């Protein structure tokens, strides 16, 4: 009996008779030959059926077999450079084929161009297509690499709550839900505040889960539900944090290059851009970034570009600013020391410059913009209390958080990395909605 293999292992099976279980992604007939491009979840492989090898009635069904029919194919593996597929370069000569189900012949995601809204309405089927399949395979590896790095660097995984009593990242993007007799609860915008409690027990921790922002912004970088990994480290300052970030991001890129090269290639990704990612990453202060933007503004005569680049000290960066800054570097860029006013309430002030805070954003190359936001956290109880009031946050809900500054406060830092933005960068795709299986945006909760 032929052994059942997965297509991503096919190179090791050359010359052997194997069985592949999957779905017909594409079919072409050439007289006595039918070429089936079969996908099995791990890859796409060409299966060639020759009329003389099969029962006449069965061959007849193959000629008409609709896309997405499920099949079990058995036959020998042959190397052939021309054979399409992922990884490609191999085909199976069909000795036997069982048609598990002949799919209905009105497949909505048939092989032609579809509008984005149509594709998103059929996301449950769209994920079968090679590009979407490749992106989500890469996502899975990114997630594995994230956990691998923290698990091998002394971090404890802590799961922080999703139902929370207060805002972490600003009150304007909170999803609220009635919560029994307790009034309102909010979907977590970040697990950071709990992580800060956790490090005082465990030293180094990370949480990793779904994160919710009622973002009104309809951009290609915003989802209302996304996945964020958030490490937090006790006795860690801003410089040490930046070192961790560059080691961590490099690890993810390297593992993706090692394990997902066929998928990256199938997406047409320029691999050489990713191969350059190595520590150290360039670091610039917000002040210097503001100067660079001013220079770029002065240097252009294009009124449209001028409009986009308009910037003054104190503003947060928009996408065009981030793109301009990162266009000067091959590697991710660390920008530190943002104005206190554009950042969250919990950031440690810059010594001697209270208008600046010890924050750092990591901006991905090639115009992908911020994928990590982080900072050193405020360690003084009294200053934190004052900040909570300035931000009109309810002191009652933050009582436990203030406790952390009463009982053994230490300098500490952490960051949050968005999985979808990272995946979009690594895959080189336009919009982060393709970097998650079922995207949630202001206009979409289906399917």
- State the residues that interact with Mg ion by CB under 5 A: 373
Q: Does 340 bind ligand 4AD (CB under 6 A)?
A: no
DSSP code for 189 = S
Minimum distance from CB of 372 to Mg ion (Å)? 8
Please name which of 232, 178, 186, 245 lies closest in space to residue 211, comparing C-alpha atoms: 186
Minimum distance from CB of 371 to Mg ion (Å)? 10
Sign of CA dihedral 62, 266, 432, 41: positive
Strand, coil or helix: 146: helix
Minimum distance from CB of 417 to ligand 4AD (Å)? 6
User: Crossing angle of helices 419-427/238-259, nearest 10°?
Assistant: 50
* 222, interface contact from ligand 4AD, Mg ion, none, CB < 5-8 Å by kind: ligand 4AD
Residue with tokens 């066929």, as numbered in its chain: 262
Nearer to ligand 4AD, 240 or 300 (CB): 240
Among 132, 160, 164, 192, binds ligand 4AD (CB under 6 A): 192
* 192, interface contact from Mg ion, ligand 4AD, none, CB < 5-8 Å by kind: ligand 4AD
Nearer to Mg ion, 293 or 347 (CB): 347
- Bridge-based pairing of strands 3-4 and 33-39 is unpaired
Q: End-to-end CA distance of the chain: give it in Å, rounded.
A: 41
Between CA 322 and CA 318, with CA 325 as vertex, the angle to 5 degrees is: 20
Tell me the C-alpha distance between 192 and 206, whole Å. Answer: 9
* 40, interface contact from Mg ion, ligand 4AD, none, CB < 5-8 Å by kind: none
Segment lying near ligand 4AD (by CB under 6 A), choices 1-9, 27-35, 220-228, 403-411: 220-228
Q: Does 415 bind ligand 4AD (CB under 6 A)?
A: yes
Number of residues near ligand 4AD (by CB under 6 A): 23
Segment lying near ligand 4AD (by CB under 6 A), choices 44-52, 157-165, 221-229, 423-431: 221-229
Segment lying near ligand 4AD (by CB under 6 A), choices 81-89, 106-114, 225-233, 301-309: 225-233
Minimum distance from CB of 418 to Mg ion (Å)? 9
Tell me the C-alpha distance between 418 and 157, whole Å. Answer: 17
Among 18, 37, 83, 168, binds ligand 4AD (CB under 6 A): 168
Among 40, 230, 263, 324, binds ligand 4AD (CB under 6 A): 230
Minimum distance from CB of 362 to ligand 4AD (Å)? 8
> How many C-beta atoms lie closer than 10 Å to residue 183's C-beta?
9
Between CA 334 and CA 339, with CA 336 as vertex, the angle to 5 degrees is: 140
Nearer to ligand 4AD, 190 or 340 (CB): 190
User: Secondary structure of the chain: what % helix, strand, coil (to 5)?
Assistant: 35, 25, 35
Minimum distance from CB of 272 to ligand 4AD (Å)? 24
Nearer to Mg ion, 332 or 373 (CB): 373
> How many C-beta atoms lie closer than 10 Å to residue 278's C-beta?
12
339 Cβ contact partners less than 8 Å away, ≥ 6 residues apart: 286, 313, 314, 355, 356, 357
Residue ranges in contact with ligand 4AD by CB under 6 A: 168-169, 190, 192, 213, 215, 222-223, 226, 228, 230, 370-374, 414-418, 420-421
């Amino acid at each position: 009996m032929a052994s059942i293999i997965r297509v991503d292992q096919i190179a090791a099976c050359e010359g052997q008779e194997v069985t592949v279980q999957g779905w017909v992604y594409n079919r072409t007939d050439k007289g006595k030959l039918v070429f089936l491009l079969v996908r099995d979840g791990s890859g796409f492989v060409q299966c060639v059926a020759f009329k003389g090898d099969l029962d006449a009635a069965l061959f007849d069904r193959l000629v008409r077999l609709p896309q997405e029919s499920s099949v079990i194919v058995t036959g020998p593996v042959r190397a052939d450079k021309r054979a399409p597929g992922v990884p490609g370069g191999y085909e199976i000569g069909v000795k036997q084929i069982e048609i598990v189900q002949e799919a209905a012949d009105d497949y909505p995601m048939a092989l032609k161009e579809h509008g984005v809204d149509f594709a998103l309405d059929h996301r449950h089927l769209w994920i079968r297509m090679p590009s979407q399949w490749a992106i989500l395979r890469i996502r899975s590896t990114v997630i594995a690499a994230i956990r691998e790095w923290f698990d091998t660097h002394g971090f404890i995984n802590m799961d922080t709550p999703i139902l929370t009593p207060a805002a972490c990242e600003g009150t304007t993007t909170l999803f609220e839900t009635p919560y029994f007799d307790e009034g309102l609860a909010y979907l977590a915008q970040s697990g950071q505040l709990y992580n800060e409690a956790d490090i005082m027990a465990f030293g180094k921790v990370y949480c990793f889960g779904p994160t919710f922002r009622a973002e009104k912004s309809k951009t290609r970088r915003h989802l209302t539900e996304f996945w964020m990994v958030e490490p937090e480290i006790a006795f860690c300052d801003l410089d040490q944090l930046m070192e961790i970030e560059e080691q961590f991001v490099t690890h993810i890129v390297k593992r993706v290059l090692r394990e997902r090269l066929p998928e990256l290639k199938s997406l047409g990704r320029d691999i050489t851009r990713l191969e350059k990612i190595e520590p150290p990453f360039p670091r610039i202060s917000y002040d210097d970034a503001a100067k660079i933007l001013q220079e770029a503004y002065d240097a252009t005569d294009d009124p449209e570009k001028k409009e986009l680049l308009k910037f003054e000290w104190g503003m947060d960066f928009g996408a065009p600013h981030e793109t301009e800054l990162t266009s000067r570097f091959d590697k991710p860029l660390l920008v530190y020391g943002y104005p206190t006013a554009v950042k969250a309430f919990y950031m440690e002030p810059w010594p001697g410059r209270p208008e600046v805070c010890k924050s750092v954003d990591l901006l991905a190359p090639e115009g992908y913009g911020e994928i990590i936001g982080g900072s050193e956290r405020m360690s003084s109880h009294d200053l934190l209390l004052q900040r909570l009031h300035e931000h009109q946050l309810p002191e009652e809900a933050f009582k436990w958080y203030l406790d952390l500054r009463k009982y053994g406060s230490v300098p500490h830092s952490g960051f949050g990395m968005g999985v979808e933005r990272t995946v979009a960068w690594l895959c080189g795709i336009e919009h982060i909605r393709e970097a998650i299986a079922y995207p949630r945006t202001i206009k979409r909760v289906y399917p």
